[in-house]
Amino acid sequence: MRLTIASGVASFTAAILLYPLFQGGTWFWTSLGAVLAVVAAGLISSRLSLPAWAAPLLGLAATWVYLTVAFAAGKAWAVVIPTKSSVLELARLLGTGWDDIQRFAAPVPETRGITLLTAGGVAVIAIAVDLLAARVRRAALAGLPLLALATVPATILAEPISWPAFIVAALGFVSLLISDGRERVGHWGRAVLVRRTRSATSPSPSRSAPGGARAAADTRGLRLSGKRIGFAAILLAVLLPAALPAMEPVSFFTFGVGGRGSGPGNSISIANPIASLKGQLDLPERRVVLTYTNNDDTPRYLRIYALDTFDGQQFGMTQPKGAPQNRTENGPLPPPPGLGRDPQITNVVTSVQISDDLARLRFLPLPYPPRQIRVDGDWRADVDTLMVFSTREEAAGIEYEVLTSEPKPTASLLESLDGAQPNTDPRFLRLPENLPPEIAQLADEVTAGAGTTYEAAVKLQEFFTRTGGFTYSLRTQGHGNSALRDFLLRDRTGYCEQFAASMAVLARLVGIPSRVAIGYTGGVKMGDRWEVGTNDSHSWPELYFEGVGWLPFEPTPSGAAGQGSARVPEYTQPRPETTEESTSPTPGATSSSADEPQDPSARRNPREVDREGTVLPGELPPDDSMPLIAQIGIGAAALLLVLLIPAGVRMVTRNRRVRSLGFKVAQPADELTARMASSRSHTSVAAAWAELDDVLYDYGMARGASETPRALARRLTQQYEFDAGSAAAITNIASAVERVLFARDAGRIEPMRKDLRKVRQALAATTSRGRRVRAVLLPPSTLRRLRLLGERLLDGFDLLENIGLRRTAAQKGS
C-alpha cells in the first residue's frame, strides 16, 4: 500500500526532470494524471492481493482508460470505455506526436500528440517502478526505470539538469527506498540496535516505554538512519561535483571534445551548421549577429565552422580537439597549417562584439587565420582547422579581440607553388566512392587546360561565378547526392551552401584539398563599426595550397543578384596585375601593408606572433601556461599536503603538550603560587596523559574505556615486557594521573617529560616499522578525534530528532 504510493511519488518526481523539454505545463498535469491512474490501479491490485504479474496489466489498462478519457473522450463510449474509434484516435495522435518530436527541437511546443506520448511514457515508467518496488520488492532496482526517465533530458539537452529538480527527483527515490525499508523491517518485528547508544549503560528506549504498549514494530531508528544516509548521499551528489575540478579533455588521453550527438557535460553540441545557416538566411527580418572593428577598416569573412568531411550527402565536421595547451589564454594559437615563408603576411587586430541574442553558439566567429585571441573564459583552438570553441562558454554577448596573420599571396606566387605535395590530412581530399561519374567528368571539363592547381582553382571559381551560368536563389532545397548532381548539371540554381559544397567537391576531384567554411561575410559598415546580420550568414570553400595554407574562394555570386556582401578574393582574380583594391575590397586584401616588402615576421618561428606596435594597442598577456607535468605535480603536492594535515595536527598537539610538560617546579613561596603551581602541574599531567593515550592509539594498543591508569601501566609493563626504567616511568605517570584525578590533594608532581619519552621509546621498540611510520604520517589519533567530532554532530541530530519525537509522543498522549 505504502510502497505503491511511494512508487507513484518517485515516478512523478523523476518525471519532473522532463521540464526543460517542453514549452508549456500541460504535459505536467497530464503526466500527473497518468501516474495517479497507475497508483490507483496499484492500490486496487494490493487490496485484491492480485498476483505480481497481474498488477502491471491492470496498470496498463488503467493508463489506457485514462488516456482515452484525456485524449479521445469524444470517441469513447460514455467518455470512459475505449471503443474502436477512440483507439484509432489515440493511434493517430501517437503518430502525429512521433512526427512532431522528430520535427521540433527541445523545448518542444505541446501538441496533443506530444503530450499523449509523454503521459504514456511516464505511465509506463510508473508501472515498471510499481512492478519492481511494490510487487517484486526490489525497490533499489526500481531506480533503473527512474534513471531511464531522468536520462531523457540529459541526452537531449546540452545543459545539465538543474540541481533543485535533481534533488526533488532524488528525494522521491529515497522516500521509495525508505518506505521499502520500513515495510520490510515492519514484517520482522522490532528493529534491534539501529539506534546509536551513547554507552552500554544507557537504558534502551523500549525499556523505558510503558511496558508492552507498543505492539507494532519500532522502525524509528531505522528510518532515522535511512533518512540520514539518503540526505547525505543527495547532498554529496549535489555538492561534490561542484567542488571537483571539471574533467579536462587532455589530448594525449585521446579523447577529443564532444561528439555531434552532444550530451551534457564537457562535450559541445553542434546544431547542424548547414541547417542553421539556411534558417538564418531565411529569416524574414535581419537581425544583428555581431559587430566588429579592425585596425585597417576592411571587412573580412568571419568563419565559425570548417566542415571537412563529405559523405556524398553533405559536408560535416570532424570533432574538434581542444587540447588544454591550445587555450586562447595560453598565448598564440597553433600556427596556421601549410603557411610557408613566402607569402606576405598582414597582421590585423579585430575587436568583435557578439550580440546577446545569439543562441547557443559555442564557436567564435573569427577571421582566418587567427593567431592570438584575447577573450574571457575557456576557449580552445582546434589544431587542424583553427576553429575556436568552448565546452563551457557560450559566445552570446561576449567581446573579444583577435589578431590574424593573413597571407597575401600573389597569383604569381600561387602559380609558382605548384608541384608541392599538399601536406594535409587525407580527409580533406576524401570523397565517397559512389559519387556520380558525371561530376568527375564535369570537374575535368571545367579545369581542362589549367597548368597548375591554382589555375584549376581559379577556373573552378570562374565556372561558378561566370562561365557556368549559375543563378543565386534561396528557394533551393536539399543537398543530397542527387541534389549535387542537379545543381551542377541541371538547374544550376542555389545559394551559398550549394556553391561552396560543389566547389569543394570539384576541387577535391582535381586533387586540391578543400573544406567548406561556414560563418558570416564581412557585413556592412554602420557608423564606425562593421555590422554583421543574420542575412550575412555565408558559406564558402577553402582550398589548400602548400606553402600558403588554406585560402578562401568565393564561388557564390555576389551583389544584388547573389549573396549581398560576398566578395571575391583578390588572388583569384583572373589577372593579378589589375589590382582593384579600391573598388572591390576582398577578404584577403588589406591596403595598409599590401605593398610592403617581405614581412620579417614570416621568417620567425611560426608559433610566434609578430606584435607590431601599431597593430596591437597593448601587449597581449604573456604565455603563462603551465606544462601538464607541472600541473600534475602541483595537484599531487596539494593532495599530499591534504593527506599530511592529520600528521601536522598531531605534531602541533604533541608540541603543545610537551611544552606544557616542561614546567619548572619552584619551591612555592606562598599559598597562591603553590596553588598556581599545582594547577600548572595538573595541566601538565593532563597533557602527559592525553599524549600517552594518543601514542597508544597510534601504535594500536589503545587504552580500553574501563582501563584505569594503574591497570594500563600494569598491562603495558607485562604485555610489552618493559625494563625497570620504562616500568617505573609508566607507573610514575599513572600514579600522577591517579592523584590528580582522584586524590584530595595531588601533592608534588615531578615533570614527566622524560618519563613520557621513555615510555614512548619502549612502546615504539615493540611496534613494527610500518606501524610507526603510519603513526607519524597518518596518525589514527587525529582521525579518531575527527570521528568523535562527527559523532558529536550526529548526537546533535539525534537530539533534534528526539525533540520532534517527544513532541509527537506528547500529542499522542494528550
Residues within the interface to other proteins (CB under 8 A) = 199-203, 207, 679, 682-683, 685-686, 689-690, 704-708, 710-711, 728, 731-732, 735-744, 747-750, 754-755
- Looking at the Cβ atoms of 332 and 709, the one nearer to other proteins is 709
Q: How far is CA 771 from CA 696, 702, 759, 774, 781, in A?
A: 12, 13, 17, 5, 13
Nine cell digits for residue 629: 607535468
Taking Cα atoms as reference points, which of 634, 618, 626 lies closest to residue 330?
A: 626
Which DSSP string corresponds to 436-453? -HHHHHHHHHHTTT--SH
Give the torsion through C-alpha atoms of 598, 599, 601, 602, to 10 deg.
Answer: -50
Nearest-approach distance from CB 219 to other proteins, in angstroms: 21
Q: Report yes or no: 471 and 561 within 8 Å, Cβ to Cβ.
A: yes
The CA distance from 593 to 408, in Å, is 10
Name which of 360 and 703 has its Cβ closer to other proteins: 703
Nearer to other proteins, 540 or 697 (CB): 697
Closest distance to other proteins from the beta carbon of 242 (Å): 40
Q: How many CA atoms lie within 13 A of 54 on its CB side?
A: 9
Least spacing, CB of residue 252 vs other proteins, in Å: 56
| C-beta of 171 vs 686, nearer to other proteins | 686
Phi then psi for residue 16, to 5 deg, are -60, -25
* 330 within 8 A of 479, measured Cβ to Cβ: no
Q: Which residues of 131-157 are buried (b: 16+ CB within 10 A; e: fewer)?
A: bbbbbeeebeebbebbeebbebbbebb
State how far the Cα of 279 lies from the Cα of 260, in Å rounded to an integer.
19
Residue 88 has which C-alpha cell?
484509432
For residue 174, the minimal CB distance to other proteins (Å) is 34
Of the two residues 267 and 731, which places its CB atom closer to other proteins in the complex? 731
CB of 212 to other proteins, least distance (A): 17
Closest approach of Cβ 221 to other proteins, in Å?
18
User: Closer to other proteins at the Cβ: 199 or 582?
Assistant: 199
CB-based contact 483:435 (threshold 8 Å): no
Contact, 538 vs 587, CB < 8 A? no
CA distance 550 to 538: 17
- Alpha-helical segments (H) within 104-219: 112-130, 143-156, 163-188, 205-208
Torsion over CA: 364, 366, 368, 371 (sign): negative
For the CB of residue 657, give the shortest distance to other proteins in the complex, in Å. 12
Check residue 432 and give left, alpha or beta (phi > 0: left; psi -120 to 50: alpha). Answer: beta
Radius of gyration of the chain (CA): 39
**Residue nearer to other proteins on the CB measure, 129 or 713:** 713
Nearer to other proteins, 580 or 750 (CB): 750
Min separation Cβ 757 and other proteins, Å = 13
Distance in Å, CB of 186 to other proteins, minimum: 24
What's the closest the beta carbon of residue 761 comes to other proteins, in angstroms?
16
Q: Looking at beta carbons only, is 102 or 199 nearer to other proteins?
A: 199
In the numeric block, the cell 545543381 is attached to 487
Q: How far is the CB of 200 from other proteins (least distance, A)?
A: 5
Nearest to 352, CA basis, from 109, 140, 530, 550 = 530
- The distance of closest approach from Cβ of residue 755 to other proteins in the complex, given in angstroms and rounded to an integer, is 8
Q: Which is nearer to other proteins, 604 or 710 (CB)?
A: 710
What DSSP character marks residue 247? P
User: Which amino acid, 64?
Assistant: W
> Are residues 38 and 9 in contact, defined by beta-carbon separation less than 8 angstroms?
no
Give dist(CA 288, CA 11) in Å, integer: 45
Burial pattern 769-800, b for ≥16 Cβ within 10 A else e, equals eeeeebbeebbbbbeebeeeeeeeeeeeebee
Distance in Å from the first CA to the final CA of the chain: 29
Shortest Cβ 228–other proteins spacing (Å) = 26
| Grid cell in block for residue 99 | 512526427
Question: Residue 765: which residues within 8 A CB-CB, separation 6 or more?
Answer: none
> Does residue 232 come out as left (phi exceeding 0), alpha (psi in the -120 to 50 range) or beta?
alpha
Our CB check for other proteins shows the closer of 218 and 755 to be 755
Nearer to other proteins, 194 or 741 (CB): 741
For residue 331 the three cell numbers come to: 598565448
Measured from the CB atom, the residue of 204 and 598 that comes closer to other proteins is 204
- Smallest gap from Cβ 140 to other proteins, in A, equals 34
Report cis status (omega within 30 of 0) of the bond before 606: no
Query: Looking at beta carbons only, is 423 or 761 nearer to other proteins?
Result: 761
Sign of dihedral through CA atoms 567, 569, 572, 575?
A: positive
Give the nearer residue to other proteins in terms of CB position, either 399 or 738.
Answer: 738
Contact 291, 529 (CB under 8 A): yes
DSSP 344: E
**179 vs 732 by CB, closer to other proteins:** 732
> Which CB, 140 or 711, lies closer to other proteins?
711
Looking at the Cβ atoms of 612 and 707, the one nearer to other proteins is 707
* Shortest Cβ 680–other proteins spacing (Å): 10
